[in-house]
Amino acid sequence: MVMIRDFFSLTYVRNTGAAFGFLAAANPSFRVPFFLIVPIVAMVVLGFLYRDLPQTAKWRAMALGLVSGGAIGNLIDRVRLGYVVDFLDFHYSNSYYFPAFNVADTAICIGVTILLLSTIVTKKEPIHAPDSVRN
């Protein structure tokens, strides 16, 4: 289905791998448990990161929410269907196709980008020695 000629269309791709089909050709006895365990471990790590955030870190909290939501969305697809459904297809003419992706992938990418930018942009408080050491 062509939505915007030579730029965007909706498609249907069964992605048994990770981003851009990474590990899609791997042995299912490795691939299936890997893609079920990794998101769960990631959710636990994200939970600890969220728990330790100061209340002023609203951008980081939003970013962790986006990454978590994307991971949960893809995990639901994998548990329910055995693969992730990718449907957003961007391309240039008929010569360059960006790999198909879904909304969960977009949330993960935006969340990771916000986390990286907030890490770079965040002002670091100077480390002060305790008063007893300064005197």
Residues designated as active site: 86, 105
- The type of residue at 5 is R
For the chain, the residue count is: 135
Residues 6+ apart with CB under 8 A from 14: 81, 83, 84, 85
CA-derived radius of gyration, the chain: 20
The answer to whether 43 and 132 have CB atoms below 8 angstroms apart is no
Task: Give the C-alpha separation, 6 to 96, whole Å.
Answer: 10
